């Protein structure tokens, strides 16, 4: 299964380039290259700019995937290698999201008059956070992924408890973002997204610090 995923991910990463080549002749000479908060085009450019944009985002996607799947090799933490499969699954989810986003951008450019629906994008980001939250509770202490606070890195027990809570919050918060943003105007979706992200990030940090203080008072 892992071999299939490791091969499939490269097809997913280059899928936007394949799609761009297929629809190239159907693209108008002038395409939307930037959108305002309401999703309306506010800058246009030659369709050849899409080639550069696609190349850059595919390159970033490849870099992120390779980084996440190999970062455990650089981690001096004792159980860093145990994170290999979990980070691989997170990397796979991130690659799917980035390719889907680029495909959506190319599709919107092909339609020309279509609005870039920011609500759909934030909904997709919410799903990505839900996936990451699903793996957080099983993530072993490391220096590169997770809530890398001084007290979580210092105490395996603090790390475990903090990530158990963070995993539940990220999963529930991500699903809530994915569901609610679909029905909200773009500006309101952005506000809701950042409010929830702040909540599900700050709460585990405060919780972790309280565990740290309690352990210091009762060693």
Q: Please give the pLDDT value at position 164.
A: 92
CA 47/CA 30 separation, integer angstroms: 6
Q: Please give the pLDDT value at position 77.
A: 66
200 and 178 within one domain: yes
At 34 the three-state DSSP class reads strand
CA 195/CA 209 separation, integer angstroms: 21
Q: Please give the pLDDT value at position 24.
A: 83
85 and 16 within one domain: yes
Local mean pLDDT, 10-residue blocks, the chain (219 residues): 71 90 81 64 72 88 87 69 78 89 80 66 86 87 81 86 91 90 80 90 91 77
Q: Of 80, 98, 116, which residue constitutes the final position of a domain?
A: 116
Q: Please give the pLDDT value at position 171.
A: 93
Q: Please give the pLDDT value at position 165.
A: 92
131 and 81 within one domain: no
100 and 133 within one domain: no
191 burial type by CB count under 10 A (0-12 exposed, 13-18 middle, 19+ buried): exposed
Which tokens go with 192?
């809701």
Specify the pTM: 0.76
133 and 65 within one domain: no
181 and 103 within one domain: no
138 and 99 within one domain: no
CA 195/CA 163 separation, integer angstroms: 20
């Amino acid at each position: 299964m892992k071999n299939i995923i490791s091969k499939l991910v490269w097809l997913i990463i280059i899928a936007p380039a394949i799609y761009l080549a297929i629809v190239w002749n159907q693209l108008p000479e002038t395409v939307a290259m930037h959108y305002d908060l309401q999703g309306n085009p506010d800058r246009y450019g030659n369709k050849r700019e899409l080639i550069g944009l696609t190349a850059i985002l595919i390159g970033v996607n490849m870099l992120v995937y390779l980084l996440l799947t190999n970062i455990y090799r650089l981690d001096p933490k004792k159980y860093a290698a145990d994170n290999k499969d979990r980070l691989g699954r997170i990397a796979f989810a991130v690659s799917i999201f980035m390719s889907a986003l680029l495909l959506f951008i190319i599709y919107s450019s092909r339609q020309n008059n279509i609005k870039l629906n920011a609500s759909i994008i934030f909904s997709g980001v919410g799903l990505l956070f839900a996936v990451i939250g699903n793996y957080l509770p099983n993530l072993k202490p490391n220096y590169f992924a997770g809530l890398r606070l001084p007290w979580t890195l210092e105490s395996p027990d603090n790390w475990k408890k903090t990530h158990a809570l963070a995993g539940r919050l990220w999963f529930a918060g991500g699903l809530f973002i994915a569901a609610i943003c679909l029905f909200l105007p773009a500006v309101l979706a952005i506000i809701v997204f950042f409010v929830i992200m702040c909540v599900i990030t700050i709460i585990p940090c405060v919780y972790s610090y309280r565990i740290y203080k309690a352990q210091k008072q009762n060693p």
